[in-house]
Amino acid sequence: MENIIYDTGFSGNEWFVLGIIAAALIPIWFFPRRFSPLQITFNMLIGIAFGLIFDHTIEIPPFDLYDLGDQTKFQLFDLFSYTMYAPFGYWYIYGYERLRMYEWMTIPYILFWAGLSLCFEWLGDYAGVFHYKNGYQLIYSLPVYLILLSIHLMMYRHAFAYTRWRKSHG
């Protein structure tokens, strides 16, 4: 596999990653606390885990559909870039709980977040974080987001069902 170099040095894609991390993490300190430390950790780690698993699944052969960062070869900053997924997991569940998106409102909520995810991916592509290849297009990420957001919500609801029940009834 040939190593393609897209950029050298600290540039737009690294600033984008740092900006997203700061813009999404800093407000967490100022918003009212809705979660236990366990719930915060769960939601942030699930964002990172999903990013690592699914990005690497379609980023490496046999798929090889895009590259992340400055070059095809994995770099240390690529690992750091996965932390930008952490606050999205937090805000996704924060909004779900805060807005009480239960029952039939869950579907439009997941669709909204899938659209938001596409927007951020588009910005990441524009900033040089993602480099699509082999015919991959941004819209192909939509089903991935729909599946991951659904799984995240199911896992959260299953893991913290008692906590949610206890908060609302006690």
Find tokens 């606050």 and name the residue.
Answer: 87
Mean predicted confidence (pLDDT) in 22-43: 93
pLDDT tens figures, 125-145? 999 999 999 999 999 999 999
Amino acid letter for position 165: W
pLDDT tens per residue, range 74-116: 888 888 899 999 999 999 999 999 998 878 899 999 999 999 9
Phi-psi region of 166 (alpha: psi -120 to 50; beta: other; left: phi over 0): alpha
- By percentage, how much of the chain surpasses pLDDT 90? 64
Phi, psi (degrees; rounded to nearest 5) at 135: 85, 5
Q: Which of the pair, 119 or 63, is modelled with greater confidence?
A: 119
pTM metric for this prediction: 0.88
- Write down the mean pLDDT value for the chain: 90
The pLDDT of residue 44 is 96
Place of tokens 């600290």: 10
pLDDT at 166: 59
Provide CB contacts within 8 A for 130, sequence distance 6+.
66, 67, 68, 121, 124
Q: How many CA atoms lie within 13 A of 62 on its CB side?
A: 0
pLDDT score, position 35: 92
Does residue 108 have a cis peptide bond before it, meaning omega lies within 30 degrees of 0? Answer: no
Mean pLDDT, to the nearest integer, of 37-66? Answer: 91
Q: What is the DSSP letter of 9?
A: S
Q: How far is CA 120 from the centre of its chain?
A: 9
The answer on pLDDT for 169 being more than 70 is: no
Q: Where are the domains of the chain?
A: 12-169
What integer is the mean pLDDT of 19-46? 94
> What residues form DSSP beta bridges with 134?
none
